[in-house]
């Protein structure tokens, strides 16, 4: 087998669109046995699957016709050509993905997990330099893109804020982009104006990634959010098709929810409940795009009305820095996602997400910290997934995804099994 057992089985489940339980039943094995085959090689509970299972799974995939579909897409060339924007290897919008290409992309992210979890190292991007250009505040996106590039063996140069860039002296986006292209091999850009990253991309032929363009899009965040939902659903034995997703908060200016809603709409038969304060509703053009794909959208201003039955609660903070004339300072207390409302409206298998940062200041009433010890809170599993997903973005855009598997070496240090003191027992095992 050229890929690891874990990647092979997850690949088969994704292609067949089956949960672990259904998949285990389908191939006639105990769910517990399947779980041990899906563990990373080297972990204590890991077991090798029998050869007969390998042959049987391959046969099922072929019978479902999905292997053929995958092979056809492979024949059309590298993933970076199929997700290209304007014919260039760039990631500007989630609109560049189909369901098939996003699932293919996640299989590459799966391959990155041993590196992200500090079990393996790779140097496939040795010698490459990333330009991280952040003209707006960021912690997660800037650092995780930088860490992802370094974990593939590359190096990072960055600039933060307008004040310390020559844009403060009137330099244009075109000139900045062209100059940077002579220095680095890929750029990640965050800029406060919608459409600005596409403008950077037009001035260069090196890969450009949109790290957030004002209230526009945040495609890498949506990819890691969807990857997290699929990973959590796999653990919980749920399918994304037909699921109920509740998006909560400032849906007008929150670019993460704009990208996520569009990306989720690649799946089938979803119900979206959009819960926002009056005046901060999801823009109509995004709702229209999602509705035309056959999904149900409901809007409400009340958590009590919108949360019951949700499989995913995705909370966001007030994007005050983007307000035009709105006067909202924070959410009202009855709008706060906390343990009481989650217990009241949802079951034990709901997952609570947030792109972070959450606003912890008094009066903000953002996602409550009283869920911090609750295993339903997936926010740090979500941020951890930023690394394999962003590694996969670079691997695809720079065309090295096929080299990763054979480049892996064991790490020389001993990282903790759980990097956070409150991490759930299943954190990092999927
Ligand atoms: N989620 C997110 O974009 O976080 P940062 O603003 O810290 O990058």
Task: Say how many C-beta atoms besides its own lie within 10 A of residue 81's C-beta.
Answer: 12
- Using CA atoms, how far residue 407 sits from 39, 358, 371, in Å, is 20, 37, 40
Beta carbons of 13 and 46 less than 8 angstroms apart: no
pLDDT band at 430 (very low <50, low <70, confident <90, very high): low
Q: Do the beta carbons of residue 250 and residue 318 sit within 8 Å?
A: yes
Q: Which two tokens stand for residue 370?
A: 């009283």
pLDDT at 40: 87
Q: Is the pLDDT of residue 290 over 80?
A: yes
Residue 38 above 50 pLDDT? yes
Cα–Cα distances (Å) from 75 to 68, 79, 81, 89, 98, in that order, read 11, 10, 12, 18, 16
Q: Which of 134, 322, 355, 382 to mutate to test the pocket of ligand 1 (most atoms within 8 A of CB)?
A: 355
Q: How confident is the model at residue 58 (pLDDT cuts 50, 70, 90)?
A: confident
pLDDT in tens, 388-413: 999 999 999 999 999 999 999 999 99
Lowest mean pLDDT of 34-38, 113-117, 287-291, 392-396, name the range: 34-38
* Residues within a 6 A CB radius of ligand 1: 138-141, 212, 218, 221, 355-357
Residue 296: beta bridge partners? Answer: 271
Model confidence at 90, pLDDT cuts 50, 70, 90, reads very high
3 state SS of 23: helix
Residue closest to 107 by CA, chosen among 66, 150, 156, 59: 66
Which is the closest atom of ligand 1 to the Cα of 190? 8
339-392 pLDDT, tens digit each: 999 999 999 999 999 999 999 999 999 999 999 999 999 999 999 999 999 999
- The pLDDT of 272-283, averaged and rounded, is 96
Residue 29 pLDDT: 65
137-149 confidence digits (pLDDT tens): 999 999 999 999 9
What is the 3 state secondary structure string of 265-327?
Answer: CCCCCCEEEEECCCCCCCCHHHHHHHHCCCCEEEEECCHHHHCCCCCEEEECCCCHHHCCCCC
The contacts of residue 204 (CB under 8 Å, 6+ apart) are: 177, 178, 180, 181, 187
Q: For the chain, what percent of residues have pLDDT higher than 70?
A: 95
Closest-CA residue, ligand 1 atom 6, reads 138
What does the pLDDT read at residue 211? 98
What per-residue confidence (pLDDT) applies to 428? 84
Q: 19-23, 81-85, 143-147: which has the minimum mean pLDDT? A: 19-23
118-132 average pLDDT score: 97
Select from 173, 80, 33 the least CA-distant residue to 394: 80
CA angle, 99 then 100 then 104, to 5°: 115
pLDDT band, residue 70 (cuts 50/70/90):
very low
Pocket test for ligand 1, best of 250, 318, 357, 389 (most atoms within 8 A of CB): 357
Global model pTM greater than 0.95: no
Whole-number pLDDT of residue 73 = 47
Instruction: Specify the DSSP element, H or E, that contains 74.
Output: helix 66-75
What is the percentage of the chain residues whose pLDDT exceeds 90?
A: 76
Residue 137 Cα, ligand 1 centroid: separation in angstroms? Answer: 8
pLDDT surpasses 90 at 328: no
Cβ atoms of residues 189 and 210 within 8 Å: yes
**pLDDT value at 71 more than 70:** no
Give me the pLDDT at residue 45, please. 87
CA pair distance 91, 61, nearest whole angstrom: 30
Average pLDDT, the chain: 92
**What is residue 15's predicted lDDT score, i.e. its pLDDT?**
83
Residue 75 pLDDT greater than 50, yes or no: no
């Amino acid at each position: 087998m050229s890929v690891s057992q874990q990647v092979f089985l997850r690949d088969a489940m994704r292609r067949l669109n089956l949960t672990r339980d259904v998949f285990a039943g389908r191939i006639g094995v105990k769910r517990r046995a399947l779980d041990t085959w899906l563990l990373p090689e080297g972990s204590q509970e890991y077991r090798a699957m029998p050869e007969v299972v390998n042959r049987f799974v391959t046969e099922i995939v072929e019978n479902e016709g999905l292997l053929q579909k995958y092979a056809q897409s492979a024949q059309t060339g590298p993933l970076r050509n199929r997700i290209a924007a304007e014919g260039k290897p760039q990631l500007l919008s989630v609109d560049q993905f189909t369901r098939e290409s996003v699932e293919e992309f996640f299989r590459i992210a799966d391959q990155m997990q041993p590196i992200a979890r500090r079990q393996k190292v790779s140097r496939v991007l040795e010698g490459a330099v990333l330009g991280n250009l952040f003209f707006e505040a960021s912690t997660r996106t800037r650092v995780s893109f930088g860490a992802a590039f370094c974990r593939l063996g590359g190096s990072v140069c960055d600039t933060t804020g307008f004040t310390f860039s020559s844009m403060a002296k009137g330099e244009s986006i075109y000139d900045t982009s062209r100059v940077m292209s002579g220095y680095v091999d890929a750029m990640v850009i965050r800029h406060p104006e919608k459409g600005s990253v596409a403008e950077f991309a037009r001035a260069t032929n090196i890969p450009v990634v949109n790290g957030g363009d004002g209230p526009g899009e945040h495609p890498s965040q949506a990819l890691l959010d969807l990857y997290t939902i699929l990973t959590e659903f796999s653990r919980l034995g749920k399918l994304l098709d037909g699921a109920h997703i509740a998006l909560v908060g400032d849906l007008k200016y929150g670019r993460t929810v704009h990208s996520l809603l569009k990306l989720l709409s690649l799946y089938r038969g979803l119900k979206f409940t959009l819960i926002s304060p009056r005046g901060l509703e999801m823009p109509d053009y995004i709702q229209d795009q999602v509705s035309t794909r056959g999904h149900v959208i409901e809007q409400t201003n009340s958590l009590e009305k919108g949360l019951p039955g949700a499989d995913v609660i995705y909370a966001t903070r007030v994007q005050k820095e983007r307000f035009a004339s709105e006067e909202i300072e924070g959410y009202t207390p009855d709008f706060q996602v906390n343990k009481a409302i989650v217990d009241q409206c949802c079951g034990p298998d709901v997952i609570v997400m947030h792109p972070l940062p959450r606003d912890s200041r008094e009066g903000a009433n953002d996602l409550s910290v009283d869920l911090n010890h609750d295993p339903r809170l997936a926010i740090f599993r979500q941020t951890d997934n930023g690394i394999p997903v962003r590694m996969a973005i670079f691997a695809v855009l720079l065309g090295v995804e096929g080299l990763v598997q054979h480049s892996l070496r064991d790490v020389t240090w001993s990282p903790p099994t759980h990097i956070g003191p409150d991490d759930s027992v299943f954190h990092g095992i999927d």
